[in-house]
């Protein structure tokens, strides 16, 4: 666990700007620009502050490109567009403003432009947010990359692509800026794109989506600090992650694209607390180094064609990236499953008794998984029903969520293990060689995921590989060291299983850190069951070899007592810890009510209802109606900007 936490939260040291270093990304430079950007305060599209931000960015970019005698041409423009988006809801928009800069490679001129790499972020913020991380970091990272290319023009002189910098507007209103760009003449030249986003306020940047295998290889070959997993992509495609990014629009231009974002501290996302103070030192350096390396790689090694072959990818402890084309990964997965089945047939010598024992063990693990999820969800729901403050008591404490959900999950499969042991004893079956049952279980789990051709199917496959390797390595070491005890063999087996356990633990922590703040935006009384399901599932798969050791050595009662004790302690903690605060705010749904008489508005009010409806548990936490006023800004684009006066009781604070 300690190892997982260290490699997960490690960040590079912020770099100063020193020319003797050569080309390098500087967090210090970026922070200076970010301070100026956030000094305008909240700057949503349609506001005066939004206009001021665009002009500030235009002046900053112009001063950079005009500061040196460059060996290439450039064009800077502000693009204003109108249009409509006809999806689930028809949206019509006008005066959406984008700031764009195009650097033409030396052999390319504006009259005969070549293909281009698109680098994108959005300048607008949420209504009540300074937007330091969303998407101020992306904005200033692009500016610092531009400064590097201008300071060291020999680097861009080797480019085989033009480079388009796009600072979108109106992303927060529904990805409108990127929709406008689709109609711009430059969009036809885009052969690859990088989109920088945020769903949190710091920590390392993660890859959420990659268009195809070429882009995955480019990322793996270039970045310094990789953070990538196919799991995130599967979650996006299955709509398990709330929201969308400009990536979905750019993907209409080319499959050679990548979408990256921060996920840490999502509690401040779209709130007034999205400030520079919340950004962890090293965060900007991390994303800047990665994006700069990726930009240099792509402009010097452009794609020769657009393929639609997805990839199966994941980073190995955040040091390097393993990736294969998805069809090859699926074929490799099936091959490894067949090797695993062959191993089971060989060790059983095709005899009924050993095969029956392996089958019972595998089914026990499968039932144990189902039981662990049911127990975890049941305990969570019972606590939800009796808790005076609703179903998000774990909201502000990710570590408390682990402590709360995992003991219930542990008790669930220990319960099944206990029953299975009694049944096997009555049948006269000796419950040994559980590693074979483990292997059969992971093969059973892998098969349907491989059949669905999901890129994240490599997770159970990793356990198949690790179990096979651990089995043979343990036998080899036991023979060499003359170890006769079964317990010593299992200790070696668990030692060799550590890599897959660490990998799964890391993914579990990432899942909780990413999803926990999102729970504040889901208006559903069953949200606690979602968290229990995810946490229990990942914990079970990650620590199943250890649990098999517990089962093998008759430690069920001892572990059950420990899990029950931890569960009781976590419940007591949850009863005394209030989940929401200024640092961990609850979100609210605003019900707008307008009363009219004779075609005139007589009453214009809004009613706040906190998501999860904790007011039903505690009548003292009541939201009053608050007046809704509109400020008409003649100096901006002419759109009304809502200004909400807060009038709340019970210590709650709402930010829209």
Q: What is the pLDDT of residue 294?
A: 96
- Beta strands 588-597; 320-325: pairing state: unpaired
Strand ranges, E, within 611-653: 625-632, 640-644
Question: Averaged over 510-514, what is the pLDDT?
Answer: 72
**Mean pLDDT of the region 43-49:** 90
Residue with tokens 């050595």: 553
Q: How many CB atoms lie within 10 A of CB 419?
A: 14
Q: CA–CA separation, 643 vs 134, rounded Å?
A: 21
pLDDT category of residue 636 using cuts at 50, 70 and 90: very low
Q: Which of 148, 123, 146, 131 is nearest to 15 (CA)?
A: 148
- Tell me the average pLDDT of the chain: 79
- Name the pairing type of β-strands 640-644 and 625-632: antiparallel
- Tracing tokens 């499953």 back to the chain, one arrives at 337
Strand order in the sheet with 600-610: 588-597, 600-610, 625-632, 640-644
Least confident of 52-61, 160-169, 324-333, 341-350: 341-350
- Residue in the structure block whose two tokens are 């992509």: 233
User: Residue 119: how many CB atoms within 10 A of its CB?
Assistant: 25
pLDDT at residue 645, rounded to an integer: 34
pLDDT-derived band at 2 (thresholds 50, 70, 90) equals: low
Residue located via tokens 């990236």: 321
* Kind plus residue range of the DSSP H or E element containing 446: helix 434-451
**pLDDT one-digit tens code per residue, 306-360:** 778 889 988 888 888 888 999 999 999 999 999 999 999 998 888 888 888 888 8
Q: Are the C-beta atoms of 180 and 135 separated by less than 8 Å?
A: no
* pLDDT at site 201: 83
List b or e across 52-86, with b for residues whose CB sees 16 or more CB atoms inside 10 angstroms. bbbebbbebbeebbeeeebebbbeeeebebeeeee
Q: What does the pLDDT read at residue 113?
A: 66
- Write the CB contacts of 68 (distance below 8 Å, at least 6 apart in sequence): 150, 151, 153
- Model confidence at 8, pLDDT cuts 50, 70, 90, reads low
- What are the distances in angstroms from CA 279 to CA 32, 149, 333, 571? 14, 26, 40, 32
How many alpha carbons lie under 13 Å from residue 610 in its C-beta half-sphere? 27
What is the fold, at CATH topology level, of the domain defined by 2-318? Answer: Aminopeptidase (3.40.630)
Q: Is the pLDDT of residue 644 over 70?
A: no
Are β-strands 311-316 and 625-632 bridged in parallel, bridged antiparallel, or unpaired? unpaired
Asked whether 148 and 63 are in contact (CB, 8 A), the reply is: no
Least confident of 108-112, 186-190, 208-212, 353-357: 108-112
Q: Which two tokens stand for residue 68?
A: 């040196």
Rounded Cα–Cα distance for residues 16 and 24 (Å): 9
- pLDDT tens figures, 519-557: 666 655 667 777 778 777 777 777 776 776 666 666 666
Residue among 601, 346, 538, 546 at smallest CA distance from 435 = 546
Asked whether the CA dihedral 34, 38, 44, 46 is positive or negative, the reply is: negative
622 pLDDT exceeds 70? Answer: no
CA dist., res. 69 & res. 440, Å (int): 66
* Distant-in-sequence, close-in-space partners of 295: CB < 8 Å, separation ≥ 6: 117, 119, 145, 163, 194
Q: How far apart are CA 275 and CA 41, in angstroms?
A: 10
Residues forming a β-bridge with 168: 122
Determine the distance from the C-alpha atom of residue 471 to the mean position of all C-alpha atoms in its chain, rounded to a whole number. Answer: 34
pLDDT for 381-406, tens place per residue? 777 777 655 556 677 776 677 777 77
DSSP β-bridge partners for residue 30: none
Burial of 580 (0-12, 13-18, 19+ CB in 10 A): buried
- d(CA 302, CA 158) in angstroms, rounded, equals 12
Q: What would the two tokens of residue 370 be?
A: 């189902």
What secondary structure does DSSP assign to 118-186, as a single string?
EEEEE----TT---IIIIIIHHHHHHHHHHHHHHSHHHHHT-SSEEEEEEES-STTTSHHHHHHTTSGG
472-477: average pLDDT: 76
Confidence of residue 597 (pLDDT cuts 50, 70, 90): confident
- Give the Cα separation of 235 and 263 in Å (integer): 14
pLDDT digits (tens, 9 = 90+) for 234-248: 877 777 666 788 999
CA–CA distance, 452 with 445 (Å, rounded to integer): 12
Q: Which residues of 174-185 are buried (b: 16+ CB within 10 A; e: fewer)?
A: ebbbbbbbeebe
Most confident of 428-432, 436-440, 547-551, 582-586: 436-440
DSSP line for 387-404: -TT-S-TTTT-HHHHHHH
pLDDT at residue number 49: 92
Element (H, E) at 47: none
The dihedral through the CA atoms of 228, 230, 233, 239 has a sign that is: negative
Residues near 388 by Cβ (< 8 Å), separated by ≥ 6? 617, 618
Q: Is 614 helix (H, G, I), strand (E, B) or coil?
A: helix
Strands (E), 5-73: none
Q: Name the least confident of 112-121, 188-197, 600-609, 614-623.
A: 614-623
Listed by start position, the domains of the chain span 2-318, 328-576, 588-644
Over pLDDT 90: what percentage of the chain? 30
* pLDDT value at residue 184: 94
**pLDDT tens digits, one per residue of 13-38:** 888 876 666 688 999 999 999 999 99
State mean pLDDT over 103-132.
Answer: 85
Stronger pLDDT, 320 or 563, i.e. the higher one: 320
Top pLDDT among 196 and 151 is at 196
H or E element that contains 604: strand 600-610
pLDDT at 285: 94
Write out the H or E segment, with its range, that includes residue 239. none
Decide: residue 1, CB within 10 A, 0-12 exposed, 13-18 middle, 19+ buried. exposed
DSSP codes of every residue in 330-363: HHHHHHHHHHHHHHHHHHHTT-HHHHHHHHHHHH
Contact yes or no for 311/216 (Cβ under 8 A): yes
Band (pLDDT 50/70/90 cuts) for residue 649 is very low
According to the model, what pLDDT value does residue 654 have? Answer: 39
Regarding predicted confidence, which is higher, 127 or 431? Answer: 127
For 378-381, the CB contacts below 8 A with 24+ separation are: 378/408, 379/408, 379/532, 379/567, 380/404, 380/405, 380/408, 380/528, 380/529, 380/531, 380/532, 381/528, 381/529
Tokens 């909240």 sit on residue? 42
pLDDT at 633: 32
With a CB cutoff of 8 Å and minimum separation 6, the contacts of 336 are 461, 464, 465
For 10, other C-beta atoms within 10 Å of its C-beta total 12
Token pair of 538 as six digits: 């990942």
- How far is the C-alpha of 480 from the C-alpha of 396, rounded, in Å? 51
Which tens digit of pLDDT belongs to each residue from 68-86? 766 778 899 999 988 888 7
E strand or H helix at 5, and its extent? helix 2-9
pLDDT value of residue 640: 35
The whole-number average pLDDT for the span 474-498 is 70
Q: Please give the average per-residue pLDDT across 158-170, as a whole number.
A: 93
Render pLDDT for 273-297 as a digit per residue (tens, 0 to 9).
899 999 989 999 999 999 999 999 9
Tell me, what's the pLDDT at 456?
84
Q: What is the mean pLDDT of residues 617-634?
A: 35
């Amino acid at each position: 666990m300690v190892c997982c936490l260290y490699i997960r939260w490690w960040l590079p040291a912020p770099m100063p700007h020193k020319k003797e270093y050569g080309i390098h990304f500087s967090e210090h430079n970026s922070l200076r620009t970010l301070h100026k950007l956030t000094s305008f305060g909240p700057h949503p599209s349609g506001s005066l502050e939004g206009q001021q931000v665009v002009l500030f960015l235009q002046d900053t970019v112009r001063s950079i490109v005009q500061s040196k005698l460059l060996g290439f041409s450039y064009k800077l423009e502000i693009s204003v567009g109108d249009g409509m988006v006809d999806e689930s809801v028809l949206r019509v928009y006008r005066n959406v403003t984008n700031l764009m800069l195009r650097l033409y490679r030396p052999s390319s001129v504006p009259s005969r432009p070549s293909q281009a790499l698109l680098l994108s972020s959005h300048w607008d913020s949420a209504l009540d947010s300074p937007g330091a991380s969303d998407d101020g970091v992306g904005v200033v990272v692009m500016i610092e990359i531009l400064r590097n290319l201008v300071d060291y023009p020999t680097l861009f002189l080797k480019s085989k692509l033009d480079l388009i910098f796009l600072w979108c507007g109106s992303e927060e209103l529904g990805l409108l800026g990127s929709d406008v760009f689709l109609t711009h003449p430059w969009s036809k030249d885009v052969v690859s794109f990088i989109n920088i986003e945020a769903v949190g306020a710091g920590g390392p940047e993660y890859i959420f989506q990659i268009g195809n295998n070429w882009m995955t290889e480019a990322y793996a070959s270039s970045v310094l600090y990789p953070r990538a997993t196919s799991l995130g992509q599967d979650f996006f495609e299955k709509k398990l992650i709330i929201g969308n990014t400009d990536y979905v629009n750019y993907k209409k231009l080319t499959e050679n694209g990548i979408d990256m974002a921060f996920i840490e501290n999502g509690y401040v996302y779209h709130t007034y607390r999205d400030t520079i103070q919340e950004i962890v030192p090293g965060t900007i350096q991390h994303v800047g180094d990665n994006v700069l390396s990726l930009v240099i790689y792509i402009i010097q090694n452009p794609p020769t064609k657009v393929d639609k072959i997805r990839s199966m990818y994941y980073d190995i402890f955040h040091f390097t990236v393993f990736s294969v084309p998805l069809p090859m990964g699926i074929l490799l997965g099936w091959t490894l499953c067949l090797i695993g089945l062959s191993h089971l047939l060989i060790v059983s010598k095709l005899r009924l008794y050993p095969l029956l024992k392996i089958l019972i063990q595998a089914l026990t693990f499968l039932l144990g998984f189902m039981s662990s999820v049911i127990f975890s969800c049941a305990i969570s729901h019972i606590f939800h029903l009796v808790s005076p403050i609703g179903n998000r008591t774990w909201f502000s404490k990710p570590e408390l969520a682990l402590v709360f959900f995992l003991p219930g999950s542990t008790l669930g499969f220990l319960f099944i293990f206990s029953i299975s042991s009694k049944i096997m004893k009555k049948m006269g079956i000796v419950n040994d060689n559980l590693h074979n049952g483990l292997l059969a279980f992971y093969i059973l789990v892998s098969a349907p995921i491989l059949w669905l051709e999901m890129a994240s199917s490599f997770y159970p496959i990793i356990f198949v590989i690790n179990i096979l390797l651990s089995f043979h390595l343990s036998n080899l070491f036991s023979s060499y060291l003359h170890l006769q005890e079964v317990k010593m063999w299992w200790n070696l087996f668990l030692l060799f299983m550590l890599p897959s356990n660490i990998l799964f633990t890391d993914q579990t922590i990432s899942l909780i850190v990413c999803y926990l703040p999102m729970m504040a935006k889901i208006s559903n009384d069953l949200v606690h069951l979602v968290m229990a399901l995810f946490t229990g599932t990942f914990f079970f798969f990650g620590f199943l070899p250890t649990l098999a050791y517990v089962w093998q050595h008759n430690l069920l009662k001892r572990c059950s007592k420990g899990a029950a004790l931890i569960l009781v302690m976590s419940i007591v903690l949850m009863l005394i810890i209030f989940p929401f605060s200024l640092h961990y705010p609850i979100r609210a749904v605003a019900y707008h009510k307008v009363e009219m008489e004779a075609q005139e508005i007589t009453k214009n009010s809004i009613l706040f209802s906190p998501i999860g409806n904790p007011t039903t548990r505690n009548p003292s936490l009541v939201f009053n109606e608050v007046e809704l006023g509109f400020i008409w800004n003649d100096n901006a684009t002419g759109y009304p900007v809502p200004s909400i006066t807060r009038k709340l009781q019970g210590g709650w604070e709402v930010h829209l």
